[in-house]
Chains A and B, each alone.
Chain A
Amino acid sequence: MLEVRNLTKIYNDGTVALHNVNFSVDDGEFLIVIGLSGSGKSTLLRCINRLIDPTEGEIMWDGIDLTKLKGTELRNVRRKIGMVFQHFNLVKRSSVLTNVLTGRLGYTTAWRSLFGKFSHEDRDRALGALERLGILDQAHKRADELSGGQQQRVGVARALMQEPRMILADEPVASLDPVLAHSLLNRLEWLNQEEKITIICSLHYLDLVQRYATRVIGLMNGEVVYQGSREDIRAMTDREFKNIYGEEAERVGGIQGEIGSNGGAK
């Protein structure tokens, strides 16, 4: 159970990115955060794993206040929280396998990792993760030789290496085409349902939100302006969506029926 209380983030230049944000997520939920660019979605996700230090407020996760953690304690919590990024954030010149193995750094001693000595177990695990995501044959290529969709799957594999209990996904499909977007969200949904990993994901498209979310919160100018359950979202019309989201909101397109069998482009 993740509980965010009175979370506020003010950047050094005075920008108020989050203002008094309150919400909670039960374990095993698929929470989707919607909102315009600049509404504070990325800041919110980064506050949870403390890539950004919040100015005020608490983030309680299983009784621990994440905002108070430091050093090793913080790193030990971070390794239980996987993260997937809009621009994949892979080390482009490193191999796919090395990128995936970085997911194990939180579990590896510093001197071992200094020389790239990951255990056989970790290697097998990394190859297994790549296999599950269907890109095992790409393992020894450089990360930037892969297509966008494949790179994002490497990003997911890296997150999986952490054996996460929660995955933060910051607009994971914004750089992908609709088919790949569905394919990736399918995988996240599968992880959510089969492995009971809590997913907190920011998204842009109404139909994706309706299709995958079990809960939704809407942000506007750093404040929570909407909270809804699965049923609320299903009943939501484009008009209501645009009210929260702004006029530029749009649907990905009517390809929902096909994605199950397609499984994404190669």
Chain B
Amino acid sequence: MTKVQNTQTEQKPSLVHPVIAMLVSIVVPGFGHVLARAWQRGILIIASFFTILGLTIWRINQDVIKIGQKVSKLGDIIDKILRLQPILLVTCIVAFILYLLIIFDAYQVAARKTKGATRVFLVLLVTFFLLGWQIGKIDLPLFAREFGKSKYRISQIFWPWEEAVSRAETEVAASQNIQIPCTDNPPSPNPITEDPWIRTTPTCGNLSQQDGAPGTTLSIEVGNFSPNTETEILWSDPLANEFRARQEGEYLILTTDDQGGLQFNIVIPYRLVPSSAEGPQIWKIKARQLSATGEIGPSEILMLAMSKMIETIFLGMMATFFGIILALPVSFFAAKNLMSGTWITLLIYYIVRTLLNIVRSVEPLIWAVIAVAIVGLGPFAGIISLTLHSVAALGKLYSEAIESIDHGPIEAVQATGANWLQTVVYAVVPQIVPPFVSFTIYRWDINVRMSTIIGLVGGGGIGYLLIQWIRLLDFKAAGIAVWFIILTVATLDNVSAEIRQRFV
């Protein structure tokens, strides 16, 4: 208690009367504190309050006024805020409470009743939190709602392994020519044979029209296919473009009876006929059974993911390798204890350090974008970007290891009559090898992890596939890539931890 009183008596009195400080704060919140000689507090309050004011107006303008019909009346604006962004209204209310608190605080500080209450800063933080919530578009109900809907996609990522195997497919098919439009001389129906067959009556007709007039209805018979098997029906236009037949909007998939036969009717669909097409054209209708009865083997996706994963691991390895080779010499120039001899070496030290810091502060992904611009897409760009970043990071870590070596052992080895080389080998190297090994493995770890995503910007590796598959909404394939990444990173994490433990 005595201490508090001491600081209060030492404090110079306010420049102005408390009431004036209060009135000033009504106009410029925080300026009353400045006049009351609470400089830091005052300036902080002024800066914060006007930042909050500016941000709130910006957000209201951005997310409320500019959206939909423009409004200018205050009542309409408030109504719109309530509908669109109620949190902004809360922010306004809290900001107003803050405003009142600042005025009250200015009076108290000027009257030297308090050294400054913390509640002003508490309310300040709450306001910033509310603004952050609004600017960050945080919407927890949305998350809860959508999470349930996305269960299927997520489950595809979690268990994508059906896509990892494939069987060779065998195709059983037969087709019948159909003339459009009919002439005197329509194609003859296919004969009934031992092989799978399809025949229609009639074997000619008209297309459906764009205005909805139906085309000719064909009665179709199919026989000698595999019994009780799903069968697709396809059309083939005169240019041999195949498209699946639909009935009532759905793809037509029928199941054969016990004898491997089918009987159904189908309307010839609408198809845009190029004006150059003259005279009757030959279409085909085709029945097809696909059965995955061949050998089980790894799917194309699996093979692709695997080969890219190997590329990824080696990408990380090569980047680490080049990183070590370049970082070793650099680190000696970045070690202050070695470079503080003359002003020239010290200058080199500062230049190298600054360069390392700049290179390190740019993310590898950005370096990869630059590298891709130079050498094009592919793993080489990834290696360049990761090497750059590794050199900067390892250079710093190595140089710090060099800086922290203990001078004692060097002195002791020198005292035994050892020469310079022996001193380095017996007193310096044993001290820097373990941290060097540790940092290097750590870096390798990081590089492999980074190389899994460097492909997002075209730097090679599995990230390239991952982003493609995600964009194609092929979540099972993406899931396989994710699994590979997780497995590799986890394995590497354990291996590197084990190695580091042995060395250090």
Contacts and interface: CB of A to CB of B under 8 A. Distances in A.
Q: Do A and B come from one complex?
A: yes
Interface of A: 49, 51, 75-83, 85, 87-94, 98, 102-108, 110, 113-114, 155, 158, 161-162, 168
B430 A105 contact: no
B430 A91 contact: yes
A98 to B, nearest CB: 8
B431 A93 contact: yes
Contacts of B97: none
Contacts of A108: 422
A106 B414 contact: no
B426 interface: yes
B409 interface: yes
B415 A110 contact: no
B210 interface: no
Interface in B248-307: none
Contact of B412 (A80, A81, A85): A85
A178 B85 CA distance: 75
Contacts of B416: 78-79, 82-83, 102-106, 158, 161-162
Majority DSSP secondary structure for residues of B touching A: helix
Interface residues of B, number: 20
Given A78-B416, A79-B417, A105-B418, A114 B425 contact: yes
The interface centre, meaning the residue of A103, A107, A168 with most chain B CB atoms within 10 A of its CB, is A103
Given A49-B415, A106-B416, 9 more contacts: A51-B411, A75-B417, A89-B411, A92-B409, A108-B422, A110-B419, A113-B425, A114-B421, A168-B415
Contact of B422 (A81, A90, A93, A113): A113
30 contacts: A51-B414, A78-B416, A79-B417, A80-B417, A83-B415, A89-B408, A89-B412, A90-B409, A91-B409, A91-B426, A91-B427, A93-B430, A93-B431, A94-B426, A102-B416, A102-B418, A102-B427, A103-B416, A105-B416, A105-B426, A110-B419, A113-B418, A113-B426, A114-B421, A114-B422, A114-B425, A155-B412, A158-B412, A158-B416, A161-B416
A110 B434 CA distance: 23
B409 A110 contact: no
Contacts of B414: 51, 78
A143 to B, nearest CB: 9
Interface in B396-434: 406, 408-409, 411-419, 421-422, 425-427, 430-431, 434
B409 to A, nearest CB: 5
A209 to B, nearest CB: 24
A75 B418 contact: yes
A85 B408 contact: yes
B253 to A, nearest CB: 71
The interface centre, meaning the residue of B413, B416, B422 with most chain A CB atoms within 10 A of its CB, is B416
The interface centre, meaning the residue of B412, B415, B417, B418 with most chain A CB atoms within 10 A of its CB, is B415
A213 to B, nearest CB: 23
A79 B408 CA distance: 17
A104 B416 CA distance: 7
A142 to B, nearest CB: 10
The interface centre, meaning the residue of A83, A89, A114 with most chain B CB atoms within 10 A of its CB, is A89
Given A85-B412, A93-B431, A106 B418 contact: yes
Contacts of A93: 430-431, 434
A82 B413 CA distance: 10
B424 to A, nearest CB: 10
Nearest to A46: B411
Contacts of A102: 412-413, 416, 418, 426-427
Contacts of A113: 418, 422, 425-426
